[in-house]
Amino acid sequence: MAVPKRKTSPMKRGMRRSADALKAPTYVEDKDSGELRRPHHVDLKTGMYRGRQVLAVKSKD
């Protein structure tokens, strides 16, 4: 049976448990299309960011 040689320090224990505090990503409803998107990210379907056209939208041909 494997037994640890040393006690895990509080710092190491806390570093291991730091991922427990991660939350699910948040989404906001887009004002124009009404679809959900990440805040401060470009809407990939319309190519809009903060009311400006940033990306060219690919056609579905």
Domain residue ranges of the chain, discontinuous segments joined by +: 23-56
Question: Tens of pLDDT along 7-53?
Answer: 999 999 999 999 898 888 899 998 877 889 899 998 888 888 888 99
Q: What is residue 26's predicted lDDT score, i.e. its pLDDT? A: 92
Q: What pTM value is reported for the model? A: 0.53
Residue carrying structure tokens 């401060």: 40
* Cα–Cα–Cα angle for 31, 37, 38, rounded to 5 degrees: 120
> How is residue 20 annotated by DSSP?
G
Check pLDDT > 90 for residue 58.
no
Q: What is residue 50's predicted lDDT score, i.e. its pLDDT? A: 87
